Structure formats: C-alpha cells, structure tokens
Amino acid sequence: MNIFMKMLLKIIGSLSLLALTSLSSAAQTTDLENTLYLDLKDGRVTIEMYPDVAPKTVMRIKELVRQGFYDGLTFHRVIPGFMAQGGDPDGTGMGGSGQHIDAEFSELTHLKGSVSMARADDINSADSQFFIVLDVSAHLDGKYTIWGRVIGGMKYVDRIRQGVVPELQNPDKIIKMQVAADVE
C-alpha cells in the first residue's frame, strides 16, 4: 500500500471515529449493560460493546469483568501508532483465563478506538486478551474479533506507557474494569 493510501485511510478513520463519537454522545441513550468503564491511571475510558456483532465475545468479556478478572492486569504490549494490548493475568502475553472464544469476524474496520480480541495463530484461540487500536489498522480486518469501541477517554488510552514486556518496565495497569450497569 502506498503512502497516499495509508494517509487516506488514517484521515477516513479519524473522521469516522469523530463522527461516531459525536453521534454516540448526542444519543444520550447509553445501554449500560453493554458499556464498560476501564479505569486507568490517567482517567476513565468508556467502551461501547457490540453484542449484535460479537455476542459470545461480549458475553465472555462481561463475565470476566464481573469476576474482577481484569482489575490490576497490565498492558503488556503497547506499540505506538498500532495498539495497546492487555488482559493477560501472567503479564507476558502468553496467558489467559483458560476459556477460548470462537472467532466472530465482521465487516467492521479496525479504526482508532476499536476494541478487538487478541489471539494466537488459531483463529478460535481468543481468550481474555484484548487490544485497543491506536490508529487505523485495516490489515487486521476480518482476522480479529472487534467487540467494541472507545466512546470516551481515548486520550487516556493514548497515554498508556509504550513498549513490550519484558523490555517494558513498570507497564501501566487496568486499575478497575466494570460493566456500567453494575456501577451505582
């Protein structure tokens, strides 16, 4: 892909994210059962989940969140201009909850703010690890399950300490992750 096409994809992705965020904010009808709060050191990130697009994945994420599974876990792989990955209880990128989730690929594009499942070579090996896209990453489309998008606090995601474990020392952590419907 040439530089012009990459720039065009970035511009389209940024405009799409801005439009979607504006529409979501204007709607004022948030589905709290399908909204996550991801608390980071710098502030709260709000994630809208897509139960119609990835029902098995959303159901499993909510189960793990309600168990407190993600609380205190690190972002073990943060690559500038690409993505921030977390959700591994081992903090190495090799661990998980022990329950795989079948792939739920869709026509959605990996735009900045998309939340998608990490996996190994086996397309049905997603478990608990997820990543938040930091820039348009269309090369991931149709290969990873997109299950949500950041609708608030992306600036806090952009501040997550960059690097890859083990070189990354003192990686940033998920302070707390909650289903919005459970928050009083």
Say how many domains are in the chain: 1
Matching residue, tokens 């993505």 = 83
The CA distance from 43 to 155, in Å, is 9
Low-confidence ranges of the chain (pLDDT < 70): 1-29
Per the CB < 8 A criterion, the answer to whether 180 and 32 are in contact is: yes
pLDDT score recorded for residue 78: 98
pLDDT tens profile 153-183: 999 999 999 999 999 999 999 999 999 999 9
pLDDT score recorded for residue 30: 83
Helices vs strands, H then E, count in the chain: 3, 9
pLDDT score recorded for residue 53: 98
Residue 101's identity, in one-letter code, is: I
Cβ-based neighbours of 169, under 8 Å, separated by 6 or more:
163
The CATH number linked to 45 is: 2.40.100.10
The CA distance from 44 to 157, in Å, is 9
What are residue 140's phi and psi, to 5 degrees? Answer: -90, -15
Model pTM score: 0.85
Q: What's the length of the chain?
A: 184
Q: Report the sign of the C-alpha dihedral through residues 24, 26, 30, 36, in that order.
A: positive
Q: Taking Cα atoms as reference points, which of 77, 85, 70 lies closest to residue 165? A: 77
Q: DSSP for 145-170?
A: -EEEEEEE-HHHHTTSPPEETTTS-S
∠ CA 161-82-152 to the nearest 5 degrees?
70
pLDDT score recorded for residue 29: 59
Q: Residue 174: is it exposed, middle or buried by C-beta count within 10 angstroms (0-12/13-18/19+)?
A: buried
Which range marks the domain in which residue 33 is found?
3-182
